[in-house]
Amino acid sequence: MIEARRLHILRAVADHRTVTAAAAALYLTPSAVSQQLAALEQETGHRLVERGAKGVRLTPAGEILLGHTNAVLAQLERAEAELAAYSNGEAGTVTVAAFATGIALVVAPAMTRLARTAPGIRLRVQDAEGDASLPMVLDRQVDVAVAVEYRGAPPADDPRLTHVPLYAEPFDAVVPAHHRLADAAEVPLAELAKDVWVGPYPGNPCHDVAVLACENAGFQPRVEHASDDFRAVVALVAVGAGVALVPRSALRGMDLAGVSVRPVDGVAPTRRVFAAIRRGAETHPLIRPVLAALAEVSGV
């Protein structure tokens, strides 16, 4: 008999590619993870993982089992949801991981809505970028992630997750007030090819959106200054340190003295925001109202 707990460990190892990283995500020791993998191999009668210089990879047998693992764990999420519904699970805590602007735009308003529509549900919020929040959902550290689409993100049809679209917003060009394009009606990105850039660190989904937009305009941005805080990005632009692309909502209420904010010419780079949960959990009586509140306040 295969234990579901060991299947969860197998998926964590497949996601994180090293025993050490999987152990940290699951709050286990590397030794415990290795022991559970060995027990799983004994249960199945197959070698499931191979260790190499670059980490751990699944064997063909491991890949077969991983496909079934995603289905089994999703079904277990559905079972938990039905049992909670059976016991009228109308009160409890749901943990949400979201990036800062997402917290301001949808998570905080959703908390207000839930206070009226589902007062027994309490949200616990953690600030996390999308590239961090999705693994947190898969590792069961949080229940819901509010994340941004980015290159390398799990796709909408990922068998481990259910995606709920929330909103999309354009990025605006932010240039110093004395910049040659400060008074332009729209800024063609190609005109900024020789400028120094300010932006988030690699790995931040907004970094990927900005770099991809520049690549589509025919150049690789020369990013010399990095910060994941858009207030810091705008402050650096204001003193002439470079130019930037900033999500429109991140500019709301910000001190824009010293900068000029202009729409991007043509098809603007866009940040697409969604909520993600473990597949099968969408019918859970605590999760379902949270997803509905997030969708409603985002205008979906």
- In tens, the pLDDT along 177-213 reads 999 999 999 999 999 999 999 999 988 889 989 999 9
User: The whole model's pTM is what?
Assistant: 0.69
Q: Are residues 29 and 60 in the same domain?
A: yes
| Strands 161-176 vs 259-262: parallel, antiparallel or unpaired | antiparallel
In whole angstroms, what is the distance from residue 200 CA to residue 112 CA? 30
Domain boundary among 50, 66, 82: 82
Provide the CATH number for the domain around residue 76. Answer: 1.10.10.10
Q: Are residues 188 and 265 in the same domain?
A: yes
Among 60, 154, 197, 251, CA closest to 49: 60
Q: Are residues 116 and 229 in the same domain?
A: no
pLDDT score at 3: 81
| Number of domains comprising the chain | 3
Q: Are residues 163 and 96 in the same domain?
A: yes
Q: Are residues 144 and 276 in the same domain?
A: yes
pLDDT score at 289: 94
Asked if residues 97 and 137 have their Cβ atoms less than 8 Å apart, the reply is yes
Q: What is the extent of the structural domain holding 50?
A: 4-82
Q: Are residues 102 and 250 in the same domain?
A: no
Provide the CATH number for the domain around residue 230. Answer: 3.40.190.10
pLDDT score at 86: 56
In whole angstroms, what is the distance from residue 32 CA to residue 25 CA? 13
Q: Are residues 186 and 261 in the same domain?
A: yes
pLDDT score at 85: 63
pLDDT score at 125: 97
Give every CB contact of residue 31 below 8 A, 6+ residues apart in sequence. none
In whole angstroms, what is the distance from residue 17 CA to residue 9 CA? 12
At 273, is the secondary structure helix, strand, or coil? strand
Q: Are residues 150 and 172 in the same domain?
A: no
pLDDT score at 300: 53
CB under 8 Å, gap of 24 or more: what pairs does 210-214 form?
210/171, 210/244, 210/245, 210/269, 212/151, 212/269, 213/171, 213/189, 213/245, 213/264, 213/269, 214/189
Residue with tokens 């998926």: 11
In whole angstroms, what is the distance from residue 271 CA to residue 248 CA? 9
pLDDT truncated to tens, each residue of the chain (300 aa)?
Answer: 788 888 889 898 888 988 889 888 888 898 888 888 888 888 888 888 888 877 888 899 889 988 888 888 888 888 887 777 656 666 788 999 999 889 999 999 999 999 999 888 889 999 998 778 999 999 999 999 999 887 777 888 899 999 999 999 999 999 999 999 999 999 999 999 999 999 999 888 899 899 999 999 999 999 999 999 999 999 999 999 999 999 998 998 899 999 999 999 988 899 899 999 999 998 888 999 999 999 999 975
Q: Are residues 122 and 189 in the same domain?
A: no
Domain boundary among 52, 67, 82: 82
Asked if residues 198 and 246 have their Cβ atoms less than 8 Å apart, the reply is no
Q: Are residues 184 and 222 in the same domain?
A: yes
Q: Are residues 189 and 262 in the same domain?
A: yes
In whole angstroms, what is the distance from residue 106 CA to residue 129 CA? 15
pLDDT score at 79: 83
Q: Are residues 230 and 279 in the same domain?
A: no
pLDDT score at 94: 94
